[in-house]
Chain A
């Protein structure tokens, strides 16, 4: 048969293309179904924050509020609880823990990576082993210790025990290993002190590498529930996760569902923004740390 000059493809090629199309369609629909299943609760949270109370649980589910209530639930939530104070507490605690964690993590990581001193291996092994011990084991004795310090029910008690992380040291050491020795030596020849070299050469080199570490430390602090729950008795010292307990039985009286969803949305917003703008670091950070879940 003469070579076809028509623009039509052969039956076999058409069939193969059709089969591929159907395959992609099946893949897409399965993925879409799963995505909706997993995305729905988050969507439900956000949209319920703007629906009238009676509409939130209506059947069938309204994908968009029929009656948009504006910020009414947010105002309602702020009236019922010192949410502004909790927000400030959460932000303040996270900011201090991230900044201190990065600085001292970098310092120790740099020390472990670039110097040879006796006892180095055993100290590093000990610090690595910290990561294998879950926090719940320390809860009781740490609480007893904090009480002895008189830090119970204070910002110091909330912040200090979670200020440094073994994981930060581990990660910073990995980064510091790649700092060229020549760079440090040339600074030494110029007469810079070791501390000066750390501050003006090592730290600036380590800072950009620690974007994902900063996100991990932020999430660990922002989401922490157990420690602030036991340390902060005073309501004004609570953080957002602890404050959520006030909104946890919304249908057994006050506060009602709308405000609960408004507070949930507010508490999730910073993390959602981090995720949107720093997606790569966010995911990288989660993967290397193995936190969450």
Chain B
């Protein structure tokens, strides 16, 4: 009797001890993220409070970097440039990718093949996208010739023009980002049960009415996701501006986003403290977007389940 009890107790002990294997399995990752995520995240905040040029140890200066930033013409300009890029690229990307998803949701011959061609911008890296667009935007290249009937100009310096260059970078961005968001919209559309559409039809709704009052409300979680992800990634705009525009963010810094500014302060001017402060500011901006997404996405008024 007593020995039976003891055996049960020790078995329980074995099972309890076995659970520590879980900790052993997750430990390599936990240590990795402590070293390569948590530590830099914390030192990032600390560095933003220091003057640091890589040559001498960082000197604590409190909030001076932040105060200086808000008197810094380049930083204020970078905020404008970033917001312009975010608004200019996100709104068209979200709306147009929904339109394309709706189109490819219909049945017609040749649909799958055309969809594959439409997806082709998913393949190149941002660096390659930039180089392709640099060539498409050659002063006497394809884009110039396409708009020639309208402008009558044989040469347009797209990327060197102060007003045109942010616009063409937005264009490149829309081109390269749309297929991804179209995929997400398409998945959202496919998840809507056909019965709901049929029910709307039976009730006498036409296609457009059915879209506005049945599908669009059900697409709300998808819409929140698409808007948030595209806004967050546009806030981090870097590679397109870095490669396409002359002098990394030029001309005259009209394409210097916050991302480019971090790079410039950090790796051109070696002002690590300022660069870290810009990073913290960018982080705050992105966290606001993420927070909004969570707040909006949480309401399940329209969810299917």
A positions within 8 Å CB-CB of B: 24, 27-28, 30-32, 34-36, 38-39, 41-42, 44-45, 48, 56-57, 59, 61, 104-105, 107-108, 110-112, 114-117, 119-120, 123, 126-127, 130, 132-145, 147, 160-161, 163-164, 166, 169, 188, 194-195, 198, 222-223, 225-226, 229-230, 240-242, 244-245, 247-251, 257, 260-261, 263-264, 267-268, 271-272, 275, 283, 286-287, 290, 292-293
Q: Which B285-305 residues have a C-beta within 8 angstroms of A?
A: 286-287, 290
Q: Mark B176-200, 1 if CB is under 8 A from A, else 0.
A: 1111110110010000000000000
Contact A247 B279 (CB under 8 A): no
Which B residues are CB-close (under 8 A) to A145? 36, 39-40, 43
Q: Does B204 contact A (CB under 8 A)?
A: no
> In whole angstroms, how far apart are the Cα atoms of A115 and B24 in the complex?
10
Contact A117 B184 (CB under 8 A): no
Which A residues are CB-close (under 8 A) to B178? 38
Closest 6 CB pairs of A and B: A115-B22, A111-B25, A293-B177, A223-B125, A141-B40, A241-B127
Q: How far is the CB of B104 from chain A (nearest CB, A)?
A: 7
> In whole angstroms, how far apart are the Cα atoms of A137 and B275 in the complex?
10
Which A residues are CB-close (under 8 A) to B61? none
Contact B39 A31 (CB under 8 A): no
Using known A-B contacts A39-B117, A108-B26, A115-B25, determine if residue A264 contacts B44 with beta carbons closer than 8 Å: no
Using known A-B contacts A104-B29, A107-B29, A145-B39, determine if residue A225 contacts B23 with beta carbons closer than 8 Å: no
Sort chain B's interface into a size bin: 35 or more
Using known A-B contacts A107-B29, A115-B21, A292-B180, determine if residue A31 contacts B37 with beta carbons closer than 8 Å: no
Using known A-B contacts A111-B23, A194-B18, A287-B183, determine if residue A248 contacts B131 with beta carbons closer than 8 Å: yes
Q: Which B97-115 residues have a C-beta within 8 angstroms of A?
A: 100, 103-104, 106-111, 114-115
Using known A-B contacts A57-B140, A145-B43, A293-B176, determine if residue A260 contacts B123 with beta carbons closer than 8 Å: no
Main secondary structure of the interface of A (DSSP, over half): helix
Which B residues are CB-close (under 8 A) to A27? 103, 106, 108
Q: Does B167 contact A (CB under 8 A)?
A: no
Which A residues are CB-close (under 8 A) to B127? 223, 225, 240-242, 244-245, 267
Contact B128 A48 (CB under 8 A): no
Q: How far is the CB of B188 from chain A (nearest CB, A)?
A: 10
Which A residues are CB-close (under 8 A) to B115? 31, 35
Contact A132 B290 (CB under 8 A): yes
Indicate which residue in A140, A198, A293 contacts B233 across the interface (CB closer than 8 Å): A293
12 pairs, A vs B, C-beta closer than 8 Å:
A31-B110, A32-B114, A38-B121, A136-B238, A137-B41, A137-B280, A223-B126, A245-B242, A264-B124, A264-B131, A268-B123, A290-B225
Q: Which B78-137 residues have a C-beta within 8 angstroms of A?
A: 93, 100, 103-104, 106-111, 114-115, 117-128, 130-136
Indicate which residue in A61, A117, A144, A244 contacts B142 across the interface (CB closer than 8 Å): A61
Q: How far is the CB of A267 from chain B (nearest CB, A)?
A: 5
Indicate which residue in B118, B125, B142, B266 contacts A38 across the interface (CB closer than 8 Å): B118
Contact B183 A31 (CB under 8 A): no
Contact A138 B40 (CB under 8 A): yes
- Nearest-neighbor residue (CB-CB) of A147 within chain B: B54
Which A residues are CB-close (under 8 A) to B118? 31, 34-35, 38-39
Which A residues are CB-close (under 8 A) to B132? 41-42, 44-45, 261, 264
Contact B123 A42 (CB under 8 A): yes
Contact A48 B135 (CB under 8 A): yes
Contact A286 B180 (CB under 8 A): yes
Q: Does B141 contact A (CB under 8 A)?
A: yes
Indicate which residue in A24, A119, A142 contacts B108 across the interface (CB closer than 8 Å): A24
Q: How far is the CB of B171 from chain A (nearest CB, A)?
A: 11
